[in-house]
Structure 1
Amino acid sequence: MRSLRKLIVSVAAVSLTVIGLSSAPAHAVPSTSGSQVVNFGDAVEPEATGKWRIRVSFFGRQGEDIPLRQGDANFGYVHIQDSHPINDTSLNGFIDKTLESGNYGRPQDGKVVVRYNTGTGTFRVVFTEREDSRSRDGRPVGIITAFME
């Protein structure tokens, strides 16, 4: 089921980008209300709310499902902005480029660290593919943090 969802979401993301319905990075699919782009994972599972709400969906080089959730002080968008403030456009672009072209470390304690040399610094994304039943959407927790080192 998870592999099928990854395939469907990946195909949808690429298809919508190709036909011009997304202004987001090539591997990102916005998931905000009022958006032109639909998060196809929501059609299968109930929509996540609160800290589990998915802001943007990203995909790793191997097709990993890596959502950026609203989060809280410990993970996700809120954690990133509290600890390492960056505007949304730059954040999404750096995350996308890092996941697409960065150097993936070996998973450790269920977390993967990916680094990408931007030319002015190294951007780091830490994510997990671990699922949490509290999300109610069947997708991984996703991005824990992302920042310029």
Structure 2
Amino acid sequence: MRIKQKIVAGIVAASFTSIGLLGAAASPAQAVTASQIHSISSSAKDATANKWTIRNSFFGKDGEDVPLRNGDAYSGYKHIQDKHPIDDTSLIGWIDDTLEDGTYKKQGNKVVARNRTATGQMFRVVFTEREDSESKDGRPVGVITAFLE
């Protein structure tokens, strides 16, 4: 089961990479900047939908579905970068390593996974498998926060 999940995650990652490469090949006149995107979707409804957009998909030790969503001030990628800024490459790698090799502790409807990074620092990922009807994708809320301790 774990191998199938990694294959699916690899295919998804490759798809996003291909899309990113296609976007990079566009001439500057065709490129869309972040400020243009924000001005197009300024309604509260669009902002809520964006909150539930999945940035990355991860799997826990026992096959748990742990998406990293764009989030908001309280959970997900935005929360992580606002409260504990980490460059994306390290963040994604540390989340993946922690979910795969870390120690898990259940706390209510949340799970706290901890793992030591290559530099010896402890990294923590807090996630939930709870679903939220606002997400409309049937997947769990996923990563709440992640940070170096």
1:121-132 counterparts in 2 under 5 A? Answer: 121-132=121-132
Give the distance between the partners of 2:72 and 2:8, measured in 1 at CA: 32
Q: How many residues align?
A: 122
Give the distance between the partners of 1:99 and 1:12, measured in 2 at CA: 13
Q: What residue is the counterpart of 1:42 in the other structure? A: none
Q: What residue is the counterpart of 1:50 in the other structure? A: 50
* Kept after mapping to 1: 8 A contact 2:9/2:57: no
Q: With structure 2 as the length reference, what TM-score do the two structures score?
A: 0.72
Structure with bigger helix share is: 2
* Kept after mapping to 1: 8 A contact 2:9/2:58: no
Q: What residue is the counterpart of 1:112 in the other structure? A: 111
Change (3 A) 1:15 1:89: same
Q: What residue is the counterpart of 1:63 in the other structure? A: 63
Q: How far 1:122 moved relative to its partner?
A: 0.1
Identity level (%): 57
For 1:34, what is the secondary structure of its paired residue? helix
In structure 1, the gaps of 5 or more residues are 1-6, 24-28, 37-47
For 1:137, what is the secondary structure of its paired residue? coil
Q: How far 1:11 moved relative to its partner?
A: 2.7
Q: Deviations over 1:18-43 (max 9, x none)?
A: xx8846xxxxx95x99359xxxxxxx
Change (3 A) 1:12 1:115: closer
Change (3 A) 1:115 1:21: closer
Q: How far 1:54 moved relative to its partner?
A: 0.3
* TM-align CA RMSD: 2.9
Q: What residue is the counterpart of 1:40 in the other structure? A: none
Q: With structure 1 as the length reference, what TM-score do the two structures score?
A: 0.72
Change (3 A) 1:110 1:12: closer
Q: What residue is the counterpart of 1:138 in the other structure? A: 138
Matched, 1:11 2:4: yes
Change (3 A) 1:133 1:16: closer
Change (3 A) 1:35 1:63: farther
Q: Deviations over 1:41-63 (max 9, x none)?
A: xxxxxxx9310000000000100
Q: What residue is the counterpart of 1:87 in the other structure? A: 87
